[in-house]
Structure 1
Amino acid sequence: MEQTSLNLVAIAVFVMTLSALLGPIFNISPFIPAAATFTILGLATVDSFSWGGKGLTLFLDLFTHAEERQRIIHHEAGHFLAAYCLGIPVTGYTLTAWETFKQGEEAGMGGVQFDFSLLSDQEKISKNPLIIERTFTVLMAGIAAENIIYEKAEGGKEDKQNLREIMKILDIPVHLYPQKESWALLQAKNLLLRHQTSYKALVKIMEKRASVEECQTLIQHTMINDAK
């Protein structure tokens, strides 16, 4: 079951338990919280199988607090900056589940969309194998950003899954996965630390939902100023 479904199940169980404790005090019929709980669980099941969990993600997004939203912005800004620096095209980004839904992307609380088409061009990869390493670094940059700002990453599970899927497609031996992941995380962390001014400015402008082009222009200008 998806994490969003598990979260909603936990909420439903909590509500039912709380209602059972407070029901006698406020004269609430036990059938009301029970019916509400079973309805929520039923909707969670239907949504998980029929809609891929998108409905639950949108519902839970309503309860995302400000601190968590800031963490998401910092995470995605890490991806964006790394992609810009390493030449991986960014085609868009979202910072909430609703924005993700409106853009027709997979269910999630937000994300940066990349153009990874170069990975399917074996000729270009053979001429420039660094394309693979740069892609790995970009995928781990969100986790690296959280580690820098919050000293611990809460997001990034999907990033790791995507990284391993790409390594699988590229026929990289499984025993090398942890090594590749750790190396990419280190490279991403070093990149973000070298460009802290650009990163902090990018976080602020992404929070205002600047366009991809505006974000790229900002990064370019801050890097030029830093180089002076």
Structure 2
Amino acid sequence: MQQVALNLVAIGIFAVTLTTLTGPFLHISPLVPAGLTFGALTLLTTDRFAWEGQGALLLVDAFASDEQRDRVLHHEAGHFLAAYFLGIPIAGYALTAWEAFRQQQPAGAGGVRFDTSALDYAEVASGKVALAVDRFSTVWMAGIAAEERTYGSATGGGDDRGQLKTMLRSLGFSLQARNQKERWAKLQAQALLERHADAYIALVEAMGARTSVEECYQVIQERCKTA
């Protein structure tokens, strides 16, 4: 069961327990907490198996704090900026679970989406696999680097690290080599964000206004011209 669903179950159990304990004083029938428990478990089960957990993600996302949303914005802008400067095409982006759902993406698959259909074939055909690994590694770590740059710490990035480790493992990298590549990629991302700090700030504003990918490109280009 996904962590989101587990959190909702914990909240539900707490609410039912509280209702059960206070029921006699508030003259609440014992059938009420039992009905709430049954209804909650039915919804969670349906969401898990019929909707692949998207309902829970949409519900949690609806109650996200302003800071959480701002962290997501800065995190994804880091991915976007790194992909732009490293030549990885961007197909689109979503900053909330609802936006991802509206774009017909899984609710938990928001963020920046990369178009690698042509890039992968070109890299493999030219024998530049190592270069492709370096570029994608930097892009994946750029979200964490951007969040840490703004807030001093990163609460997101678990999926990014997971994708990076999966790619490196599939290419035969040892555990030590994977850890070294992750640290190297994070340093590269930090340097890129520092070098293009003005463009990054402008990109955050543009993505916050939900401008198109093409307009975000223009924002970066214009800021680089004036730098």
Q: Is the contact made by 2:98 and 2:107 (CA closer than 8 Å) also made in structure 1?
A: no
How far did residue 171 of structure 1 move?
2.8
Letter in 2 for 1:213: E
Matched residue count: 225
Distance 1:129 1:50 in 2: 40
Q: Show the 5 A alignment for 1:25-40.
A: 25-40=25-40
Matched, 1:100 2:95: no
Q: Show the 5 A alignment for 1:36-47.
A: 36-47=36-47
Q: Show the 5 A alignment for 1:83-98.
A: 83-98=83-98
How far did residue 39 of structure 1 move?
1.6
Matched, 1:122 2:124: yes
The 3 A distance-change label for structure 1 pair 177 and 17 is same
Letter in 1 for 2:125: E
Q: Counterpart of 1:91 in 2: which secondary structure?
A: strand
Q: Is the contact made by 2:169 and 2:178 (CA closer than 8 Å) also made in structure 1?
A: no
Q: Equivalent residue for 1:212?
A: 213
| TM-score normalised to structure 1 length | 0.91
Q: Counterpart of 2:91 in 1: which secondary structure?
A: strand
Q: Is the contact made by 1:93 and 1:112 (CA closer than 8 Å) also made in structure 2?
A: yes
Letter in 1 for 2:199: S
Identical-pair percentage: 50
5+ long unaligned stretches in structure 2: none
Matched, 1:76 2:76: yes
How far did residue 197 of structure 1 move?
1.1
Report the aligned-residue RMSD. 1.7
Q: Counterpart of 2:173 in 1: which secondary structure?
A: coil
Matched, 1:23 2:23: yes
Cα deviation code 1:107-164 (max 9, x no counterpart):
317310012333354223x246322201110011111111111111111111111112
| TM-score normalised to structure 2 length | 0.92
Letter in 1 for 2:178: Y
5+ long unaligned stretches in structure 1: none
Distance 2:103 2:213 in 1: 14
